[in-house]
Amino acid sequence: MNKTKKIVTRLLFYVGGMMLVALGIRAAVRGGLGISPVSSPSRSVFNVIATHGWSLDLFGWHVNITYGMCYTAIFVLYLLLQILILRRKFQPVQLLQIAVSTLFGYFVDLAGLIVDAIPVPSAMPYWLQLIFLACSILLIPTGLTFYLAAKLIPMPSEGLVLAIQTARKEKKHDVPYHKVKVFVDSACVLSAILIVWLGTGHLTDIREGTVITAVMAGVVMGWLRPVLNPVIRKCGLGEE
């Protein structure tokens, strides 16, 4: 595969993977059984803003704050945490995560328009909520597999996990990636509970689906890799 074609392929996998993740996030929101741990802080911030009806006035323009905008803001916070953790070890190229965060925020809002267009009963039965949750658990690992195969700039949520792991290695306390991921996911859920409880006085979007997603997402990703990796290799990625 020539260099130009490989770059285009990487970008397609990267952008396409992020869009699948965004669709998975919005499927979980539509189902109402709880969202993934990494999505919970941004959703809690959005719920607080929506409850109080807050908005932005920029140079005379009235701007409603969307879920995607909250996602971008939380991702930028994750990037700041990476800088604080890594300090001099932080690579300036990783500042491109700001652009990635902005793009992903747009995808989250676009995915919301797509998923919300699916007709459902006003009182959604539990079995239908489970279907939306299952779609979320399938879409997110699929998107992550494609996005990671591109080997480009990580999304800040993944970058934060890698930053903590790198910092621990420097102190000669090597911690496996999955253990750091569990720690970050747990911190996300706890912070989300605190934000939404203090901001609204009740819990929303953190339910049994949050726990199910935390447990099953990695398992499903393990199941999908043997199926998706041959497709990825056939497209010229994952060879090096």
Kindly tell me if the per-residue pLDDT of 239 is higher than 60.
no
pLDDT at position 238 is 65
Two tokens at 238?
């994952």
Residue whose token pair is 């080997």 = 151
Q: Is 66 helix (H, G, I), strand (E, B) or coil?
A: coil
Residues 48/196, Cβ–Cβ less than 8 Å: yes
Domain span at 181: 3-234
pLDDT at position 209 is 94
Q: What is the pLDDT of residues 129-175, one digit of tens each?
A: 999 999 999 999 999 899 989 989 999 998 999 899 999 888 777 78
The phi, psi pair for 31, rounded to 5°, reads: -70, -30
119 domain-assigned: yes
Kindly tell me if the per-residue pLDDT of 1 is higher than 70.
no
What number is the average pLDDT over the span 187-203? 94
Instruction: Give the separation between CA 32 and CA 28, rounded to whole angstroms.
Output: 6
What number is the average pLDDT over the span 181-206? 92
Distances (CA, A) of 137 to 4, 10, 177, 213, 221: 33, 24, 20, 6, 9
Two tokens at 178?
């999955």
| Helix (H) or strand (E) segment spanning residue 239 | none
- Nearest residue to 33 via CA among 150, 142, 136: 136
In percent, how much of the chain has pLDDT > 70? Answer: 98
Distances (CA, A) of 206 to 33, 39, 171, 211, 235: 7, 10, 35, 9, 38
- Domains contained in the chain, number: 1
Residue whose token pair is 């990635």 = 100
114 domain-assigned: yes
Kindly tell me if the per-residue pLDDT of 240 is higher than 70.
no
Q: What is the pLDDT of residues 23-33, one digit of tens each?
A: 999 999 999 99
What number is the average pLDDT over the span 45-61? 90
240 domain-assigned: no
84 domain-assigned: yes
239 domain-assigned: no
79 domain-assigned: yes
Q: How many CB atoms lie within 10 A of CB 103?
A: 18
Residues 28/115, Cβ–Cβ less than 8 Å: no
195 domain-assigned: yes
Which residues partner with 63 through β-bridges? Answer: 56
